[in-house]
Amino acid sequence: MKFTEGYWLRNERTNGLFAMEAYYITHIPGGMRIVAPCAHIPHRGATLNMPAITMEFHALGDRTVHVTAWHYEGYENGAPEFEKNETITEPEVIIDETGAVMNTGLLTVRVNKYPFSYQFEADGKVLTSCDFRGLGLMRWDRKPVPMSAVKDYLCEDYQPYMLNELSLSVGECVYGFGERFSAFVKNGQSIETWNEDGGTASQIAYKSIPFYMTNRGYGVFVDSSDNVSYEVASEKVERVGFSVPGEKLSYYFFYGPSHKEILKEYTSLTGRPALPPAWSFGLWLSTSFTTDYDEKTTSSFIDGMLERDIPLSVFHFDCFWMKAFHWCDFEWDSDCFPDIRSTIKKYHEKGLKICCWINPYIAQGTEFFREGMKGGYLLQRSDGRGVWQTDNWQNGMGIVDFTNPDAVKWYLDKLRTVLDAGVDCFKTDFGERIPVDVQYFDGSDPYAMHNYYTFLYNKAVFGLLKEVKGENEAVLFARSATAGGQQFPVHWGGDCFASYPSMAETLRGGLSFAMSGFSFWSHDISGFESTATPDLYKRWAAFGLLSTHSRLHGSGSYRVPWLFDEEANGVVSFFTKLKCRLMPYIYAKAIEAHEEGTPVMRPMVFEYQDDPACTYLDRQYMLGESLLIAPVLSEDGIAEYYLPDGRWTHLLSGESKKGGSWYREKYDYYSFPLFVRENSLIAMGSVDTRPDYDYSKDINLTFYEPEEGSKAVCLIPSADGRIVNRITAEKTGGRVIMSSEETVSAASITIIENGKKRKHDFGDK
C-alpha cells in the first residue's frame, strides 16, 4: 500500500508513527526486545505522551529469525493464524551503548540505537536493512481525539496499518508472492495478496502467498492471513515495503544463501508438501467444462485414447457430472450416468483413476442446501438476516463455513458418498470468491478469512482423502491457495487462453509459484478459454507433459487430440510415454520435494543463482537439477533458449552443446530444447504405458558428460514413495567407477563424453 506521494511527501490520509530510537533493549528468552519511541528522547520528560513501537527478535535455529512489532499490544483483529512449526532457540545477544547484536550462528541481527535501524547480516555482509522511517504504524484517515474532558478519552479513530520496509541492493531481484502471471522478477510491482478469480492474464492471482526471496540469499514470510500489501521497489525503489492491517506485524526472515536452503527453512515452518501418488504424474483427461457429455461420450474418449496408443492415467468428470442448477449437491446426473458405480468400475478395470470436480458453493433449491441452512453450516450475512447468498455462479448459492466443525463433518460426509461410488480424488475448484460481508461460526475476521478460507477448504478435503484412500493415495487438483497450502498438492494454473502469450504467462505463474514454496503444479494443456490451433495444441502438449502434472482440459470444447489433427495423437502419445520413462528421475525429485521442500519444477535462477543470464529467465526451467526445458513459444517452431556454463546433451537427439551461450533453433513437434546437465546420472524406466511401476527393474542408466573428479548420485525410488537404491558414478583417472547399494537390474548403462556414447560394464553391483 502506498503511503507516500513521491519520496519526500506522505499521502494526506496518512498519519505515521515511526520507530526513531531504541530507548530500551533487553535480552529475553530466545532473543531480544526493543522499545522504540516515535521521536528522539533527549530527557526523561520527553517520554510523556510519547507513542512507541515495540519489537522482538526470536531465533528459530541458525538460519531463521522471527520478527514482531506492535503499537497497541492489546489490539485484536480476529485474523486466523497460519499453522506453523516453530521452535525457538537461544542466540547470543550483546547489548551496549550503541545498540545490540543478536547472533544465531549463521545469521546476525544488528540494531542501531539512534537513529533507530536494524539489519540482517551473514558471512560478513549486510543482506538487507530497515532504515530511517522503515518501521511504523500508519494511522490511515485519523481523526484527532480531544483530551479536554474525561468523556472524550476515547479510542483513537483511524484505520491502523503496520509497515516495514527492507532495503534492496544494486542488482537485487525479488521473486515469489505465489502464482503470479506478471513479470517473473517482481521489482517495480505493487502486489496485493488477495485471492481472486481473475484468469492468467492479469495482475491478480488465485494463489497469493505473503512470501518472497531474492537473489541476495534471503527470504521473508509475512505472517498475516489478511491482505498483505507489498510495494516491491515501487513506492521506494530501494526498498520492499509491506504493510498489514492492524496494530501488529509479524514476519520471518530466512537465510539461505541458496534458494534451496531458503525454501527448506520456509517449508519447515509452514509445512512440507505431501507426496502425490505416482499414478497422478501420468496424463489426466477431462470432459471439459461446459461441454455436453454422458457415459457414451466419456467411454468414447477413454477408448479413443487406448486405440491411439496414448497412455491415460486419470479420467476427470468436470462440473456437469451433477445437474445444472445443482452445483454442488454431489448427486450424479442420473440421466447421463444411470449406473455410475458400474461405469466407474469399468473404468477402473481399464487401469484408470477417477477424479470429480467439486467446490464449496451450494446452490439453493437442493436438499443439500436446505440441510446446510437448517444446520447453520453456511456462512451467515453480517446483518444477521440469515444465510449469505448470491446468484454469482450458482442460483442463490451459499458457502460452506469451514470454521464450524459440524459443517466440516456434514460436507465431508457428503463427499464420502462420492468416494464410495469409486471416485479416487477431487478437483477442488474455486475457494477465491469468498465474501467479506459475512459472519463466521468461530468469529474470525471476514477480511482475514478471505484468503485463509482456501486453506481450510483444501485441508478438509485432503484429510478426507487420506482417511478414506490412505496416506499415500491422497491427491487434489486445487486452484486456490495461501501460505501452507503446499501441504495439499496438486495445484493447477487456472483459466488461461489458447494462445502462445497465454502459454508463456502460464509458465511465468508456475515459476513464481515454485519460488513460493509449492512443488507440484499443472495447467490446462492448450489453454482453457477458446480452442487452440493444432500447432499450439501440440506445442503445449510437449510443455504440459514435462510439467510435474499433466492435464488435458478446456472450457467449451473437448481436448482429445484427434479433434485437432492426426499428428496430435502421435505427439501426445510420444511425450506421455517419455514422461512415463522419466518417472524414476521425476519421482525421486518428488520425494525430495516432500522431504525438503525443494520444488520439482525450478526457475533457472533457482539452480543458477550466480549466473546473471538466469536472473530474469522465465521462458525455460529446470525439471529437478538435471533437466533443462525450454518450451517452443511461437508458431514458427523456433525456440530461443540459454544453456548455462558446462556441457549439455539433448535428451532425445544426443547432440552435445557448450554452455554459457544462447541458441536459436527450429524444432519439429516431436522435440524441443530438452537438455541434460553435465555430470548427471539419469535413470530411465523401461515402462512407457503408465507412470506407476517398478522403477528399479530394467532401468537404463546414462552418465552425461562426466568431468574428471566428478561424482554423480542417482536415487531410485519405488512407486510407494521410498528410495530403494542409491547408485553412484565417479570419474577418476580417466575411468568411470560405478557402484550401487543394491543389485541393479539394468537394461543398459551408457556414458556420454564429448557427445559420443559408449557402453559401460556395471558389474554385479
The answer to whether 318 is a known catalytic residue is no
**CB neighbours of residue 471 within 10 Å:** 11
Strands (E), 256-305: 283-286
| Short-list 652, 700, 585, 625, CA closest to 281 | 585
Handedness of CA 529, 534, 535, 539 (dihedral sign): positive
**Does residue 439 sit in helix, strand or coil?**
strand
Q: What is the DSSP string of 745-765?
A: -EEEEEEEETTEEEE------
Q: What is the Cα–Cα distance from 228 to 444, expressed in whole angstroms?
A: 17
The answer to whether 618 is a known catalytic residue is no
Q: Which residues lie below 8 Å from residue 470, measured CB to CB, with a gap of 6+?
A: none
The grid cell for 536 is: 499450439
Q: What is the Cα–Cα distance from 169 to 218, expressed in whole angstroms?
A: 13
Give the single-character DSSP code of 614.
G
Q: What is the Cα–Cα distance from 308 to 43, expressed in whole angstroms?
A: 85
**CB neighbours of residue 403 within 10 Å:** 18
Helix, strand, coil proportions of the chain in percent (round to 5)?
Answer: 20, 30, 45
**CB neighbours of residue 307 within 10 Å:** 11
| Short-list 262, 250, 261, CA closest to 226 | 250
The answer to whether 141 is a known catalytic residue is no
Contact between 362 and 325 (Cβ < 8 Å): no
Q: What is the Cα–Cα distance from 589 to 594, expressed in whole angstroms?
A: 9
Handedness of CA 586, 589, 595, 598 (dihedral sign): negative
The grid cell for 667 is: 524444432
Q: What is the Cα–Cα distance from 751 to 678, expressed in whole angstroms?
A: 11
Q: What is the Cα–Cα distance from 702 to 709, expressed in whole angstroms?
A: 17
Annotated catalytic residue, options 424, 429, 535, 753: 429
The grid cell for 318 is: 468436470
Q: What is the Cα–Cα distance from 600 to 629, expressed in whole angstroms?
A: 12
Q: Which residues lie below 8 Å from residue 349, measured CB to CB, with a gap of 6+?
A: none
Q: What is the DSSP string of 185-254?
A: S-TTEEEE--B----SSSS-BSBEEEEEEETTSEEEEE--SS--EEEESSSSTTEEEEEEESSEEEEEEE
Q: What is the CA radius of gyration of the chain?
A: 28
| Short-list 439, 478, 438, 472, CA closest to 456 | 478
| Short-list 553, 548, 405, 550, CA closest to 486 | 548
Judged by phi (left if over 0) then psi (alpha if -120 to 50, else beta), residue 637 lies in left
Give the single-character DSSP code of 148.
S
Q: State how beta strands 425-428 and 353-358 pair.
A: parallel
- The CA dihedral of 615, 619, 623, 624, to the nearest 10 degrees, is 0
The number of helix segments (H) and strand segments (E) in the chain equals 11, 47
The grid cell for 532 is: 487452440
Q: What is the DSSP string of 706-734?
A: PPTT-EEEEEEE-TTS-EEEEEEEEEETT
Contact between 560 and 525 (Cβ < 8 Å): no
Annotated catalytic residue, options 495, 607, 688, 705: 495
Q: What is the Cα–Cα distance from 72 to 137, expressed in whole angstroms?
A: 10
Give bridge partners of residue 265 from the DSSP assignment.
none
Contact between 393 and 433 (Cβ < 8 Å): yes
Indicate which residues carry an active-site annotation. Answer: 429, 432, 495
